[in-house]
Structure 1
């Protein structure tokens, strides 16, 4: 069936498929009534549990109003096909971002800032007793222009007060590579989201194109999650920076195998904020220091140039004035007009350059600058032979 340009419910015009899954598709569509792009999620649901999860995703999203969480507009059902109308987020998934090397130019501070915003959104949904339960890079959408980030796909979202009957006993809910150890054992708490988010951040920082716990099979992956200890972040990226060491410690606390020893999402968010503040403060201080050094040496070079130019003209004056005087007056007598006077500036310059240096010393007052000027003046005057010739007319 041709889906492009098809109009659903006399309102939503389908544009293209932007995601596919085992239970359905997600379309980019256009809301003809509100004149805005939307994401239209089409689900083929079988059984009461799947239908209840569909309604739960809608109800969960309706309760959330946060700039880093996708908004939901409407739900409806046509011929046993269930539709969820959501905010259309322009961008790519974090997983696609990680896997494309041309995006790796962003700074680690920018990476950290994205997850600060993301953790803030999850803090808000936890306040509503809602957990996402499937946090992973493919469920995080990144806007390439603004670097804003949004969490999507609340299909597995669960309210703590809801009865566990929607999940079969012992069934795994979530993507195996990003599950927390307790989820593998069939348990769940809001701290499970902390584990999954910290794992996604770890993967993002080291630019790994798959979960660090991913094994050759689902069983191996789950064994890794329960028993494997990940390398320290600074070792994984071979970069020893103080704030990265702090980040490594925080991620380790957020990924503790035992949920009771794991920090909560609000603590994780606050820790990330503190580390980000520290990293940017040091960067600002470094920029300020660099600026001070630049201006210090800029003015230093400028003063040296001025001093050198002054020395040059003073020396020339010291050479030219005596020659001029000698040319016209020798003990009050006029020289023979036929006489040609050749005066070597090389010799006189060696004698007179000291006058220029003395002038520079009085002008500047920096001994190390004067040495440089002295050497420059001597070299200049020794190698440039100034011959001032007065010829008779």
Structure 2
């Protein structure tokens, strides 16, 4: 139990209820056995002088809070009193004590791991009602989380507690959130110390997400600084995970299957509400609690009316059934069409097989049947024709016939693996050469027609020095007639994507060869050594060359030297573009440098000390913070120091 001390006269401290970065909450007892809750802020106020800024800020925020009770709200805790403790001079707020568990406790055993849809909508209605009440009075809560919303066991209402951040100064709030804020519930803009009405709306969305999914979108694994930075980055950059998938996995085992299925039908309007609350940009969310509350009440009433109107429910079911029947018919029709296409394809293949077999039979007959020659009548001996010479001539003639048959069957160019099937090819009438090509693919298959379905599986060309003349082009195919060095001709259609024009081929040959990783690392190491030894010009020459190969480190160094006025070959815009491209390639030093320049763009003294005074830079705190946090997560300690320095400067300016 925490140390007991006097809060103020007539208010007894009965011990701590909870502690946190925004202060501690104690159980108090007023004379007459009235139990209350007391919020103690961590920063003491030693001087209760209206001229003191801290005391004046505290008093101003307390005056705002007093408005909360002018119009009582069942979903907002009552503020009973406020002041400065007699011991320790700590600011405090005394609130009514709500007896019952908070939302965080209601998600733990023995309770279920998720809320029912009905109970979630109840929380949404009552918590948005609380926000509407506060925002209407110009009060921003700033610390909405599941353990700051309690269930009052006596009234059955959910109640918003702990307005500690609301009465802190901007400086105190930034410090508190930075070191001890509940990052799982914090809006992206809170990391810059901003607190808007839309900030409360974002945290509201996190709570509803947690109630339905059993977990926040980005849970904190541990309390270390790195883990907190990762969650901050997630809120700024990542989309929330799929809520329904998380909900299905977290449904209590004790629920019946029927209840589980029923509880998975989360209303679309509720999911859309959560998504709108969790938009990264404040302008894309509900502008305040009033708009949020109106939206939830209207949709909740409509949803309830549907549930309570059997006739309308039946109509909705009928409409849904008709929709499903239509989808079923569409799928069945698509299946029938696919089956018809498959049958037609099979018939086509069968017919092609028959045609091929007929041609093969004809070729076989030509090969096996030698041509019949009728010898001429013997010539008179007077003309010198002997029987031996005539026999030789007959043999030569027969040989030529056999050679012609063999050539017809097996002839082909030297670039092909085997002779294609003797399927007739549509030869276009055009014979003018329309282009000259080389084979670029590993295998360029011949086709009988400009159609992929007519490919000859055993007839193709491979890359070589041979130049192919294209005679026609159609449907992404080029018709060629190619004669190899043996005088054998091949005809057919080749896919255009498997070929390359001579111009393309020659241009490719003149392109510089890509560097290997070993070569790049070797050159980078050489450039670093040259730069360290003062040989800047030689180092820049290497960085410039490697920049042309999109090497991130080289692009960064070449641009960074220019920003530091050590490279006059490029201007400021080109230098910043190089560093941005290196950052986009996840090069951490580039992220750190850009983050630094974004944050301190308007501080010429800091820029001068860091040798960045050659150029003008854009001031963008959001971009700079995001880049530096990415660098911190990657392990860059320099980025961490820059962030701390910027926050210290911001705190000093705020004072």
Q: 1:112 aligns with which of 121, 142, 150?
A: 121
Q: How far 1:2 sits from its partner (Å)?
A: 9.0
Q: 1:254 aligns with which of 277, 283, 293?
A: 277
For residue 126 of structure 1, give the secondary structure of its aligned residue in structure 2. helix
In 2 relative to 1, CA 14–184 (structure 1 residues): closer, same or farther, beyond 3 Å?
closer
Specify the alignment match of 1:70 in structure 2.
77
1:270 aligns with 2:294: yes
Q: Deviations over 1:80-118 (max 9, x none)?
A: 333432111111221111223425586321221122111
Query: Larger deviation: 222-231 or 237-246?
Result: 237-246
Aligned 1:286-305 pairs, distance under 5 A: none
In 2 relative to 1, CA 193–144 (structure 1 residues): closer, same or farther, beyond 3 Å?
same
Please, what is the CA RMSD of the aligned residues?
A: 3.6
Distance 1:50 1:212 in 2: 36
Aligned 1:1-393 pairs, distance under 5 A: 9-22=8-21, 25-33=24-32, 35-46=33-44, 55=59, 58-65=62-69, 66-77=73-84, 78-82=86-90, 83-103=92-112, 107-144=116-153, 146-157=155-166, 164=170, 172=178, 174-208=181-215, 211-216=216-221, 217-238=227-248, 244-264=267-287, 265-285=289-309
Distance 1:219 1:20 in 2: 22
Distance 2:43 2:136 in 1: 30
Distance 1:56 1:137 in 2: 27
Distance 2:230 2:114 in 1: 33
Specify the alignment match of 1:321 in structure 2.
none
Distance 2:2 2:189 in 1: 44
| Contact 1:133/1:192, CA 8 A, preserved across alignment | yes
Distance 1:133 1:175 in 2: 11
Q: Which has the larger radius of gyration?
A: 2
| Count of residues in correspondence between the two structures | 283
Distance 1:111 1:11 in 2: 40
Instruction: Could you tell me which runs of 5 or more consecutive residues in structure 2 were left unpaired when the two chains were aligned.
Output: 46-51, 222-226, 249-260, 315-655
TM-score using structure 1 length: 0.61
Distance 2:150 2:9 in 1: 29
| Contact 1:170/1:186, CA 8 A, preserved across alignment | no
Distance 1:171 1:268 in 2: 25
Distance 1:25 1:215 in 2: 22
Q: How far 1:148 sits from its partner (Å)?
A: 0.9
Q: How far 1:248 sits from its partner (Å)?
A: 0.8
Distance 2:236 2:143 in 1: 17
Q: Deviations over 1:127-182 (max 9, x none)?
A: 222211111111111224543111111111169xxx85665699749422211122
Higher-RCO chain (CA-CA 8 Å, sequence separation at least 6) = 1
Distance 1:16 1:63 in 2: 28
Distance 1:29 1:212 in 2: 35
In 2 relative to 1, CA 286–100 (structure 1 residues): closer, same or farther, beyond 3 Å?
farther
Distance 2:205 2:150 in 1: 17
| Contact 2:140/2:197, CA 8 A, preserved across alignment | yes
Distance 1:100 1:52 in 2: 45
In 2 relative to 1, CA 2–117 (structure 1 residues): closer, same or farther, beyond 3 Å?
closer
In 2 relative to 1, CA 270–10 (structure 1 residues): closer, same or farther, beyond 3 Å?
closer
| Contact 1:214/1:224, CA 8 A, preserved across alignment | no
Distance 1:49 1:179 in 2: 27
Q: Deviations over 1:228-272 (max 9, x none)?
A: 111343343246866522211111111111111222232322222
TM-score using structure 2 length: 0.38
| Contact 2:6/2:87, CA 8 A, preserved across alignment | no
Q: Deviations over 1:37-74 (max 9, x none)?
A: 21133445346787666545533321113221111122
